[in-house]
Amino acid sequence: MTIAVPLSSGRVKPQLAATSGRVLTLKRIAVVIAGLLALVLAGAWVFRGEIALQAMARTMDRNLAASPADGLPDGLHVALCGSGSPMPDPTRAGPCTAVLAGERLFVFDSGAGSVRNLTLMGMAPANVERVFLTHFHSDHIDGLGELMLQHWAGGGAKAPVPVHGPTGVETVVSGLMTAYGPDRGYRIAHHGKAVIPPTGFGGEARPFAIGSGPVPVTLIDEPDLKIRAFAVDHAPVSPAVGYIVEYKGRKVVISGDTDIAASVEQAARNADLLVHEALSLRLVGLQKAAAERAGRANLVKIFADITDYHADPEAIAALAGRAKVRYLLLTHIVPALPLRALEGPFLGDSRKIFDGPVRVGRDGDMISLPAGSADIRHTNRLR
């Protein structure tokens, strides 16, 4: 009998050997790579301090050489240097809006913590050309002294920064300069007049009268740039204003603190961007109820009072729709929103009422409006 043997039987062992060899080779390569990676990580750990110093030096070089407008197209760029209110919020500084018109930097209000944000956002106070105040509630001016100081000392300014505001701004600026008077003396004595020019200290108050009528007051009137102020409804706080900024065909309106007002609606007509303060009646109602349960009569009264001179997001959305605004950015957020999940309840039906984009502002948010374009772009300079 003849037994047939499969022709492949003689090749089985060599194939297994070859496969086994490749597996061993791959394992050896993996071991070598793991070893090299371990050495690299160990080296990075040993020299982590030196690596961090080199990275820090590169960051310093970049920041000190940078202009606020670096990397941005020509146009209007509106950034929240503070999106909060007097209510404590670890994620939001006091009210502050920075506006870049081309390469020119303007700041509207200066709440607590906003000056640090400006620096972190690449908009150093030394570069601020002018400051504009909407009114004199403490949360809108309690960072102004620091802004004036940093403009002077940080930039070696030879002239005070102009501070525009309705009548009464003289008192605010003068009072802060008095408070910072001793510090002025220390810095000049320590660094010398050539480094810290005495003439650059503080601010130059530039008051303007504002009536209750609809006609805005023009503060800057140039071919490419116009900035105007208009009265808003923040009674009993008076005067109180909002601002219109127009640059190369793009338009931004900043409401300041206000209830829903016809003046805001008129100013915001066909604006690319409306930056409007916002208070949620629903959420402040929860605060009032908690104060009642705790027997805090003073807070009960305050939570009731603040609802009559601020605006609810749904009412703002309706105003923005009537004015044909293209983008709505809410700021001066009341109450604090420690969880992002609270933004939905804060807005209510705002996104159903207004058919454009609605954003609950956070520190660092920037809305860019390139000149010669209809584009609207969002970024965040702190994240």
Catalytic residue annotation: 139
DSSP string, 44-66: HHHTHHHHHHHHHHHHHHHHHH-
Which H/E stretch holds residue 341?
Answer: none
DSSP at 232 = -
How far apart are alpha carbons 169 and 204 in whole angstroms? 10
Angle between helices 169-179 and 181-191 (to 10 degrees): 50
DSSP at 3 = P
Query: In the structure encoding, which two tokens stand for residue 52, read together?
Result: 């961090």
For the chain, how far is it from start to end, CA to CA, in angstroms?
84
β-strands 161-166, 128-132 pairing: parallel
| Amino acid in the structure at residue 120 | L
Query: In the structure encoding, which two tokens stand for residue 234, read together?
Result: 């923040």
β-strands 96-101, 104-108 pairing: antiparallel
How far apart are alpha carbons 111 and 88 in whole angstroms? 12
Q: CB–CB of 330/276 below 8 Å?
A: yes
Residue 78: strand, helix, or coil: strand
CB atoms within 10 A of CB 363: 25
DSSP at 136 = -
Residue indicated by tokens 């009528």 = 213
Inter-CA distances, 30 with 26, 124, 202, 279, 368, Å: 6, 49, 64, 59, 48
Taken as a whole, the chain contains a residue count of 383
